[in-house]
Structure 1
Amino acid sequence: MIIAIYYNIVFVFLPEIGADLGFTAQNLQWVVSAYAVAFGGFLLLGGRATDLFGRKNMFVLGMFLYAASSLVGALAGDPVSLIAARAAQGLGGAGAGRRRGWAARSWLPPRSRSSPPCSRRAPSVTGRCRSGVAPAGPAWFSARSSAGC
């Protein structure tokens, strides 16, 4: 989530970034585009690297690269170093991007296998009740089809 937020929050600060670092109006878009191009371009490569090196290793490496390039971008004094830092952020985001859900699931304690079966089936039962299938049963389908629906 932080990867998506950080991508969009830059739009708010583009005028200040341009004024502080001396960007021209034509080159200011590269602050956003460098991140997007690197993130999108290396997303498949990040997935393949995850297959080769493991989910945890790629997640940690991607987050480290993301954090380090964020620090470099915050300390950037010229447009070229900021654009390079944003590209490195995109690369780190692509490395960690698809593994975020895995990290959250793997660090939480596993659900007990001895939980009652009704707690595992509750979402599907409530969904059927809300849709009208469970209360009416098979008659619901025949009544709907004979009514021309």
Structure 2
Amino acid sequence: MQAPENLPVVVIVEDDLYMQGILSQCLSGPFAPVVFQNGMEAFSYLQQGNIPDIIISDLNTPVLNGIQFLEQVRTSGFFSAIPFIMLSGVDNTDTRIKCLEAGADDFIVKPFNPRELEARLKIILKRAGKLVLN
């Protein structure tokens, strides 16, 4: 496992304050969450030289929605390899396919089980070589 001072950084893009709290609470501890209201704020954070270990973005956020943010990340040479999970209350096959085709590594439907979210994050980070699991 990684040392506590070297927790994997998770950028969370979520405009709903309640969901921000849930995500921050369930991910704090094994991860270091950094929360933004929209994709534009998160992309600005990346452009300032902050490279998170993984990104979780809601599909429907203001200013720059989840798909637009994902496309910005994937077309950037600096950020294109950052694992990306799309989170949404929309549960239909077309939406999931659109997100996966745009480059999302996973798609999680709200409401979600916090333990499942943590497990998915750990698996993706392990595959990316950013986390060693015992």
In proportion to residue count, which structure has more strand? 2
* Fold in common (TM above 0.5): no
Larger Rg: 1
What band does the TM-score fall into relative to the shorter chain? under 0.3
TM-score under structure 1 length normalisation: 0.22
With normalisation by structure 2, the TM-score equals 0.23
